[in-house]
Amino acid sequence: MKNKKKFNLETLSARFFSAFVYVFLYAPILIVILFSFNTSRRNITFEGFTVSWYGEMVRNSGLLESFVNTLVVASCSTAIAVVIGTLTAIAMFRYKFKGKGVIDSLLYIPVVIPEIVLGISLLASFAIASVPLGRISLVIAHATFSIPFVVFTVRARLSGYDRSIEEAAMDLGANRIQVLTGITIPIIFPGIVSGAVLAFTLSIDDFIISFFTTGASSITFPLKVMESVRSGIRPDVYALSSIIMLATFIIVIISQSAAYRSKKSGKD
């Protein structure tokens, strides 16, 4: 009897604790969604329900333009990071060479370095190479900080990979390109996908590095939001944020279920 009671108390507190964590994480998000439907311009009290901010958001060309720009930059930088990161991971897995350990640890530095330092370094580099600040410099900067993440996720996938699988494919008549496209990449694909998702979200999210490495011609959504903070955030920003959140939610669910499925079938 006593035991059972103690057990109940434990599960109860565990439940309470996890509920608290979820409230802590999701309450602010729900508030943003709530206020995107608020009739009031200010976001202190909820005065009434409206969807007019969603219409306002579409009419606010600056806001929408910045969002499209963010998506373009994120797509381009992700594509670059995925190609370079995947090939780097494969090369580092496959070949032994002098200084591999050093190169290995060098990959971690852009990850742990304060973003502001990376931002300033990139700005200085663009100045020296006389790359004009704009969309191109932004894409290069985002690809730079995304590459290590792709390398890490792909390499994690490769760690249990048996090289003789590739040899078996070659033995059966595949040339090196066919081995890469038909065997290696499909097997590490879940790693590539999670690397890409990571790179894409990091890029959409990024404020500090974008702040240093873009010009007036290429404003991203986070920069736009920061800019509007000074004049007070309008609910149309909430509306766009809500849509982004919904999209993210859907992407996460899709990628998680894909990862789950490949885990089920991909293990040898």
Interface contacts to another protein, rule CB under 8 A: 162, 164-165, 167-175, 178, 183, 186-187, 265-268
Enter the tokens of residue 177: 């390109």
In the chain, how long is the greatest CA-to-CA distance?
77
CB of 183 to another protein, least distance (A): 6
CB of 255 to another protein, least distance (A): 18
Nearer to another protein, 230 or 264 (CB): 264
Nearer to another protein, 165 or 229 (CB): 165
Q: Which amino acid, residue 196?
A: A
CB of 261 to another protein, least distance (A): 12
Query: CB burial class (10 A; 0-12, 13-18, 19+) of residue 121?
Result: middle
Residue 148, CB half-sphere, CA atoms under 13 Å: how many? Answer: 14
Enter the tokens of residue 55: 């219409």
User: What interhelical angle do 221-229 and 235-266 show, nearest 10?
Assistant: 150
Nearer to another protein, 166 or 236 (CB): 166
Nearer to another protein, 6 or 261 (CB): 261
CB of 248 to another protein, least distance (A): 28
